Amino acid sequence: MADSSSESDPENYVLYRDRTEWKDVTPVPQDDGPAPIVAIAYSEDFKDVYDYFRAMLRTGEKSERALSLTTDAIRMNSANYTVWHYRRVILKEIAADLRTELAYITKTIKSHPKNYQVWYHRQLIVKWLGDSSQELEFTSHILSRDAKNYHAWQHRQWVIQTYSLWEDELTFVEKLITEDIRNNSAWNQRYFVVANTTEFNEEATQREIEYATSIISKARNNESPWNYLRGIVTLSSYKSQPKACEFCERLYDGKCRSPHLLSMLVDISEEAVRENPAENQSSLDRALELCAELAMEFDTIRAAYWTYRGDALEEKYRVLAEPSSD
């Protein structure tokens, strides 16, 4: 029997129409209508595989050879949802070895790591097996090649949440952040882990503020830990997290003018004036001064935003002195 996949021996690949074991199948050509405006120039082997795949769909055949055919169809277009769906139907119908399928999808993902369909297929195979033992190591491998692969992170979060694999995840995330403190995906994962375990109770909040500020101290213009710090503090308020506010003031007094620092100081000042506009006009003055500094010098690429922000604060919170009765 001829091998259905050209991956094993591309030089000896045989078209399906020339395979003896497929002579009983009438291929179904793609119907693009009588006058397609822009006809796609498919390769001969692509047309051959998909003509036979359409024939399988028409007859509903679910067999080993149909499964092998989907392997070739996926090799030629790994994003084809219909092929993946039919492959899963076949796997269930013929009670295929799911361990073999997991090995197959592992290899496929390594070749197409940013393809949604391959990750969705893996998720379903893991569900059917009820075995997540390979998933953390596998996603770690994919992330070692691309630390910001959204699909790998999404799969990892699903696995951790579904199978309660939280125990060592903060250690894993800290390792990634140590390797690259600008890895915003790792910071997002840290938030995900804390929010779904201890939540941001008082102890966890103080620990995370200390962690974020320690990283900021090493790279003051790194946006990721600043976003993390802001996300934690705004779960409550700046007023209730004096350590974060004191950290920002120390940086400012030390002549740091990172736009992320100045932005947070604007928020701190706005919170103060919002609580009591009449008594905290000095906080408004400071917020306006910071907005002007950001617009004119420290974040000029967003000058229009900071000008708008300053104008909006002025309009909303300025308390004008009452006119004299004289």
Burial code of 39-70, b = ≥16 C-beta within 10 A, e = fewer?
eeeeeebebbbbbbbbbbeeeeeeeebbbebb
Among residues 158, 150, 153, the alpha carbon closest in space to that of 125 is found at 158
Nearest to 169 by CA among 209, 197, 132: 197
Q: Which positions are annotated as active-site residues?
A: 114
d(CA 84, CA 114): 16
In this structure, are residues 205 and 232 in contact, taking their beta carbons and an 8 Å threshold? Answer: yes
Q: Which of 185, 140, 189 is nearest to 161 (CA)?
A: 189
Helices marked H in the chain: 44-59, 64-76, 81-93, 98-111, 116-129, 135-145, 150-163, 169-179, 184-196, 202-218, 223-233, 242-253, 259-275, 281-293, 303-317
Q: Which residues does 111 contact at the CB level (< 8 Å), separation at least 6?
A: 78
Is residue 256 classed exposed, middle or buried when 0-12, 13-18 and 19+ CB atoms within 10 A define those classes?
middle
Structural tokens at position 122? 């893996």
For residue 295, how far is the Cα from the chain centroid? 31
